[in-house]
């Protein structure tokens, strides 16, 4: 054991340094003690309640109303964007103080949420393509497929009548994909809140509503049950004041009566010009997330990769277990567990960016550990035996003889892992990180031009990945691998 003590001390020092560095990086920023700021979640792909306008500023009934209430009641809001289902989990985990997302008050939700006074009453309607003459009511849905958005009242209503009318259900994370599924003919109809569908149709979506509003439910602001009662009181007081002074009606009318802007352009070049800054910011966030994550993933992977080749059974077992565990876990599940599961268990909030970095560090680090271990093991065993026969201790033999040869084989894999990490950042939109994919979703929610926007996002990814692939091939040639 004594002959291996130097390499073990080196690995333990590297581990401690990694933990300290990550702790410093992830330390939360202090805010002024006098400021009362609430973390509020919003689904910015749900117009007219929440969306990004032509200037990529978040607006909508919920946002304008809550901002007005905050001003009236003298508190501040730190907005956090995520999918509707992601928001619900974040509130339950204590990551957010509350959420506004055109959220209907239902008996099921009352079991886990406390709600404010209602600020809108919504109903579910069914829409079909403007070119469809076959679907005129619910009775025409038998044997067909309908599209709904995850977790919404429209989805619940569709499920409640599914057996009666004999249709299938396809579920999506945002309204734009729901509508697109109908327009492409994959689904015969869709269910959504009446104001949401009306807004989309007013903005040019080629759908038509064929039913009267059903399952009318009040829409309210929600917090985790038994928490943030002070915030609920402030919201209710501000809402009552805004209704009294007429500001509430102005906000509602501003969006429910909104018509398509004649100056809006839906050409590919027009959309690109209008959103180039927003797309650029999303790309920079993706790149920064990738760089930070691959940095920590490399440290993590090197540590556990080296553990896997030490002549000590415990370290080899630990390396194999970590690699097996994190390579086998779906990235989406890991992200949600870290962002919402751990805070639920510990009561400690984790910022979305830090949760994203930890997720990628564990997932990508497991793959790096595997090829670090494999790279070292690929060096002929005779090299170690020769070094030891010359009197070199294990640690020095590893550093001076084995690692230089193994690293030569690992470098192209490191670049390839950077490419994979860059692509994997798109999954982190589920926890509200505003990277390139989430940016695309927000733009589509406003203009409903899914094909064109996703084409732009795909081109950006392809350009960067092509450049990194060229770099990988160049390294391979120079290293003569």
Tens digit of each residue's pLDDT (9 = 90 or more) over 166-216: 999 999 887 888 988 999 999 999 999 888 888 888 877 889 999 988 867
Under the banding of pLDDT at 50, 70 and 90, the label for residue 451 is confident
Per-residue pLDDT at 410: 66
Q: How far, in Å, CA of 244 to CA of 246, rounded?
A: 6
Per-residue pLDDT at 156: 86
Neighbour count for residue 346 (Cβ, 10 Å): 11
The rounded percent of the chain whose pLDDT value lies above 70 is 82
Stretch 389-408: mean pLDDT: 63
The answer to whether residue 10 scores a pLDDT higher than 60 is no
Per-residue pLDDT at 340: 85
The answer to whether residue 473 scores a pLDDT higher than 80 is no
Tell me which of 479 and 106 has the higher pLDDT: 106
Share the mean pLDDT of the chain. 82
Under the banding of pLDDT at 50, 70 and 90, the label for residue 36 is confident
Q: How far, in Å, CA of 475 to CA of 418, rounded?
A: 14
Under the banding of pLDDT at 50, 70 and 90, the label for residue 434 is confident
The answer to whether residue 475 scores a pLDDT higher than 90 is no
Tally of CA atoms within 13 A in the half-sphere of 405 that contains its CB: 15
Burial status of residue 157 (CB atoms within 10 A of its CB: 0-12, 13-18, 19 or more): buried
Under the banding of pLDDT at 50, 70 and 90, the label for residue 77 is very high
Which of 13-17, 56-60, 100-104 is the least confident region?
13-17
In the block, residue with structure tokens 């709600």? 115
Stretch 394-399: mean pLDDT: 63
Q: How far, in Å, CA of 75 to CA of 69, rounded?
A: 9
Per-residue pLDDT at 121: 85
Under the banding of pLDDT at 50, 70 and 90, the label for residue 372 is confident
Which of 168-172, 372-376, 431-435 is the least confident region?
372-376
Which of 20-24, 201-205, 453-457 is the least confident region?
20-24
User: May I ask the CATH class of domain 120-218?
Assistant: alpha beta
Name the segment(s) of the chain with CATH classification 3.40.190.10: 37-119+220-256, 120-218
Stretch 64-84: mean pLDDT: 90
CATH superfamily of 2-28+267-479: MetI-like (1.10.3720.10)
Burial status of residue 480 (CB atoms within 10 A of its CB: 0-12, 13-18, 19 or more): exposed
The answer to whether residue 6 scores a pLDDT higher than 60 is no
Per-residue pLDDT at 24: 44
The answer to whether residue 27 scores a pLDDT higher than 50 is no
The answer to whether residue 219 scores a pLDDT higher than 70 is yes
In the block, residue with structure tokens 């398509």? 260
Cis? peptide before 405, omega within 30° of 0: no
Per-residue pLDDT at 264: 55
Task: Tokens for 365, please give them.
Answer: 């680090």
Under the banding of pLDDT at 50, 70 and 90, the label for residue 16 is very low
Of 185, 178, 226, residue with least CA distance to 441: 178
Stretch 1-29: mean pLDDT: 48
Task: Tokens for 65, please give them.
Answer: 């109303």
Stretch 339-367: mean pLDDT: 88
CATH topology of domain 37-119+220-256: D-Maltodextrin-Binding Protein; domain 2 (3.40.190)
The answer to whether residue 359 scores a pLDDT higher than 70 is yes
The answer to whether residue 238 scores a pLDDT higher than 90 is yes
């Amino acid at each position: 054991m004594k002959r291996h003590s130097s390499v073990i001390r080196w690995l333990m020092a590297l581990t401690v340094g990694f933990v300290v560095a990550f702790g410093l990086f992830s330390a939360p920023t202090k805010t002024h003690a006098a400021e009362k700021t609430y973390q509020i979640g919003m689904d910015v792909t749900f117009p007219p309640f929440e969306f990004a306008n032509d200037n990529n500023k978040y607006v909508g009934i919920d946002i304008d109303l809550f901002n007005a209430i905050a001003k009236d009641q003298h508190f501040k809001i730190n907005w956090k964007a995520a999918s509707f289902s992601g928001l619900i989990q974040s509130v339950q985990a204590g990551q957010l103080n509350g959420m506004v997302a055109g959220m209907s008050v239902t008996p099921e939700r009352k079991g886990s949420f406390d709600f404010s006074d209602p600020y809108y009453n919504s109903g579910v309607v069914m829409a079909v393509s403007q070119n469809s003459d076959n679907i005129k009511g619910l009775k025409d849905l038998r044997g067909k497929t309908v599209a709904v958005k995850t977790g919404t009242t429209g989805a619940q209503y569709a499920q409640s009548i599914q057996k009666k009318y004999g249709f299938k259900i396809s579920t999506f994370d945002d309204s734009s994909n729901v509508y697109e599924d109908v327009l492409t003919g994959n689904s015969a109809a869709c269910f959504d809140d009446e104001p949401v569908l009306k807004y989309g149709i007013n903005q040019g979506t080629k759908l038509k509503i064929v039913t009267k509003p059903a399952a009318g439910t009040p829409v309210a602001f929600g917090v985790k049950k038994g928490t943030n009662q002070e915030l609920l009181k402030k919201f209710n007081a501000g809402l009552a004041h805004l209704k009294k002074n007429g500001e509430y009606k102005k906000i509602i009318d501003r969006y429910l009566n909104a018509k398509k802007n004649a100056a809006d352009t839906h050409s590919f070049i027009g959309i690109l010009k209008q959103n180039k800054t927003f797309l650029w910011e999303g790309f920079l966030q993706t790149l920064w997330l990738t760089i930070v994550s691959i940095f920590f993933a490399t440290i993590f992977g090197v540590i556990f990769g080296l553990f896997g080749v030490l002549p000590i059974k415990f370290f080899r077992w630990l390396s194999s277990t970590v690699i097996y565990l994190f390579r086998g876990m779906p990235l989406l599940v890991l992200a949600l567990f870290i962002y919402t599961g751990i805070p639920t268990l510990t009561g400690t909030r984790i910022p979305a960016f830090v949760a994203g970095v930890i997720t990628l560090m564990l997932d990508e680090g497991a793959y790096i550990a595997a090829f670090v271990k494999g790279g070292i093991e690929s060096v002929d065993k005779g090299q170690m035996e020769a070094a030891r026969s010359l009197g070199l201790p294990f640690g020095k033999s590893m550093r001076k003889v084995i690692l230089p040869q193994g690293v030569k084989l690992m470098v192209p894999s490191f670049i390839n892992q950077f490419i994979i990490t860059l692509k994997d950042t798109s999954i982190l939109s589920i926890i509200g990180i505003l990277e390139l994919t989430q940016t695309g979703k927000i733009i589509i929610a406003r203009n409903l031009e899914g094909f064109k926007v996703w084409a732009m996002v795909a081109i950006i990814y392809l350009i960067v990945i092509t450049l990194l692939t060229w770099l990988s091939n160049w390294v391979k040639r120079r290293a003569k691998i």
